[in-house]
Amino acid sequence: MQIGDFAAVVTGGASGLGGATARALAAAGASVFGLDLAGSIEKSEPVERVTLVEADVTEEDQVRAAVEQAATAAPLRIVVNCAGIATAGRILSKTGPHDLALFRSVIDVNLVGTFNVLRLGAEAMARTEPLDEGQRGVVINTASIAAFDGQVGQVAYAASKGGVVALTLSAARDLASYGIRVCTIAPGIIDTPMLAGVNDEFRATLAAGVPFPRRLGLPEEYAKLALMVIDHDYLNGEVIRMDGSLRMAPR
Cβ burial 56-76 (10 Å sphere, 16+ → b, else e): bbbeeebbbebbebbbeebbb
234 classed as catalytic: no
Judge whether 118 and 171 are in contact, CB under 8 Å. yes
For residue 195, count other CB atoms closer than 10 A to its CB: 15
How far is the CA of 216 from the CAs of 195, 198, 244, 245, in angstroms? Answer: 10, 13, 9, 12
Alpha carbon 71 to chain centroid, angstroms: 20
Q: Is the omega angle on the peptide bond into residue 213 within 30 degrees of 0, that is, cis?
A: yes
Determine contact, residues 57/111, Cβ cutoff 8 Å: no
DSSP-assigned beta bridge partners for residue 40: none
Contact 120, 60 (CB under 8 A): yes
Q: Angle at CA 247, nearest 5°, toward 245 and 251?
A: 150
Residue type, 24: A
The one catalytic residue in 157, 178, 222, 234 is 157
Show which residues are catalytic: 157
